[in-house]
């Protein structure tokens, strides 16, 4: 029996969260077209007869001196240090730049074995694929390289084979049917945030976080009642998230309701969803301490 912790690292929008969801066959990590959608170390668990792989999806590694981005970088680096194996996802549609070289420099310093995945094979040209292979051969010559499409579930079995080869022997750390260990409040807040950031454009997605203020089980009606708030940075952004006549907040509520219900099977759901403004929260250390885990 094998058991290993696996850190997933890569640039923003490389497909890390999509790959984790494909492997676990569950919605573990939210996805969006907005870079740096993942803000926390998100754990997903995969178990089969070979053993158990405990994946940690890290925030996209982005070079920036902004307070929040530095926190996200630190989260990714800490996860590398605590893992048995590193799964490095590279998006070959983008030419390797300073961020990609910063990641490979980090990986070259650690003694942890690396499996590199050239992702998005379904849309790569031969030239893009060859360029990515050459980059990996130069920067990480000891890494195992797999080409895959997380979106289409192609090459994923090959990734798992290589990870199990590198995994140490050990007993399962989680039950066989577990696919994540995230607290319920966090899962609910992430589902709401995903629907919100996919509905707005430009800078607003980065200015959003979600807080679950209360979850109550009303036994007499078999209902889960949730009060949550979508937080933005400016009063003007509240109107955009709410939408004309409340159209956007209605879409957000409708979009997240089925996924939240799935967390509470057999229960009815009442979702009280508000929008609030908190000035410059991305530079507020106490807020970041609370929402970045």
Residue-wise pLDDT for 16-66, tens only, equals 999 999 999 988 887 766 666 777 778 999 999 999 999 998 877 777 777
DSSP three-state, residue 219: coil
- Nearest-10 Cα torsion for 43, 47, 53, 59: -30
- Return the pLDDT at 1: 92
For residues 7 and 203, the model is more confident at 7
- Return the pLDDT at 162: 98
Residue-wise pLDDT for 214-260, tens only, equals 999 999 999 999 999 999 999 999 999 999 999 999 999 999 999 99
- The two tokens of residue 288 are 């970041």
- Return the pLDDT at 202: 63
- Return the pLDDT at 36: 64
Alpha-carbon distance 78 to 76, whole Å? 6
DSSP three-state, residue 122: coil
Domain ranges of the chain: 2-166, 184-291
Residue-wise pLDDT for 98-151, tens only, equals 889 999 999 998 889 999 999 999 999 999 999 999 999 999 999 999 999 999
Strand ranges across the sheet with 144-147: 42-48, 51-57, 2-10, 85-91, 114-119, 144-147
Distances (CA, A) of 279 to 131, 144, 234: 44, 46, 6
CATH architecture of 2-166: 3-Layer(aba) Sandwich (3.40)
Helices 98-109 & 126-139 angle (0-180, nearest 10): 40
Average pLDDT, the chain: 91
From the list 174, 155, 158, 159, the residue with the least C-alpha distance to 3 is 174
How many H helices and E strands in the chain? 9, 9
Band (pLDDT 50/70/90 cuts) for residue 9 is: very high
- Return the pLDDT at 191: 95
Which residues, 6 or more positions from 146, have their beta carbon under 8 angstroms from its beta carbon?
Answer: 115, 116, 117, 118, 155, 158, 159, 162
- Return the pLDDT at 38: 75
CATH architecture of 184-291: 2-Layer Sandwich (3.30)
**Which 8-state DSSP code applies to residue 292?**
-
- How far from the centroid of its chain's Cα atoms is residue 81's Cα? 18
Residue-wise pLDDT for 168-209, tens only, equals 999 999 999 999 998 999 999 999 999 999 888 766 878 899
Alpha-carbon distance 30 to 94, whole Å? 22
**Which 8-state DSSP code applies to residue 11?**
S
């Amino acid at each position: 029996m094998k058991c290993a912790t696996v850190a997933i690292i890569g640039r923003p929008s490389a497909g890390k969260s999509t790959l984790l969801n494909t492997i676990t066959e569950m919605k573990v990590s939210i996805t969006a077209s907005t870079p740096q959608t993942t803000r926390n170390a998100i754990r997903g668990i995969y178990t089969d007869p070979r053993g158990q792989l405990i994946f940690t999806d890290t925030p996209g590694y982005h070079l920036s001196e902004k307070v929040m981005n530095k926190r996200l970088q630190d989260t990714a680096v800490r996860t590398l240090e605590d893992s048995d194996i590193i799964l490095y996802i590279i998006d070959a549609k983008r030419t390797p730049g300073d961020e990609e070289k910063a990641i490979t420099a980090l990986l070259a310093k650690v003694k942890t074995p690396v499996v590199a995945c050239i992702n998005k094979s379904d849309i790569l040209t031969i030239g893009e694929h060859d360029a990515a292979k050459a980059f990996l051969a130069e920067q990480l010559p000891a890494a195992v390289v797999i080409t895959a499409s997380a979106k289409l579930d192609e090459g994923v079995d090959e990734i798992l084979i290589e990870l199990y080869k590198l995994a140490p022997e050990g007993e399962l750390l989680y039950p066989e049917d577990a696919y994540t260990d995230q607290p319920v409040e966090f899962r609910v807040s992430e589902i709401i945030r995903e629907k919100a950031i996919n509905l707005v454009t430009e800078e607003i997605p980065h200015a959003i976080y979600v807080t679950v203020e209360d979850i109550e089980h009303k036994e007499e009606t078999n209902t889960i009642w949730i009060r949550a708030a979508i937080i933005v940075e400016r009063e003007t952004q509240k109107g955009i998230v709410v939408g004309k006549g409340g159209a956007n907040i209605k879409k957000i509520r409708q979009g997240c309701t089925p996924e939240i219900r799935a967390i509470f099977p057999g229960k009815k759901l009442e979702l009280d969803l508000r929008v609030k403004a908190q000035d410059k929260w991305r530079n507020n250390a106490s807020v970041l301490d609370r929402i970045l885990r």
